[in-house]
Amino acid sequence: MSFLEQLLDLIRDFWDRIFPFSIVPQYESGLVLRFGLYHRQPKSGFVWKWPFIEEVITCRNTTTTMNVEPQTLTTKDGKNVIVSSIVKYRIVDPKIFLLEVEDAFDAIADICQGETKRLIVDRTWDECTTNDLDNEIQKKTKSSAKRWGIDVDLVTITELAIVRSYRLLQ
- The full set of domains in the chain, from first to last, is 3-60 (no CATH), 64-162 (3.30.479.30)
With b for 16 or more beta-carbon neighbours within 10 A and e for fewer, the 6-23 pattern comes to eeeeeeeeeeeeeeeebe
Question: What single DSSP character describes residue 20?
Answer: S
Q: What is the pLDDT of residues 48-80, one digit of tens each?
A: 999 999 999 999 999 999 999 999 998 988 889
Instruction: Give the chain's largest Cα–Cα span.
Output: 70
pTM score: 0.79
Q: Is the pLDDT of residue 128 over 80?
A: yes
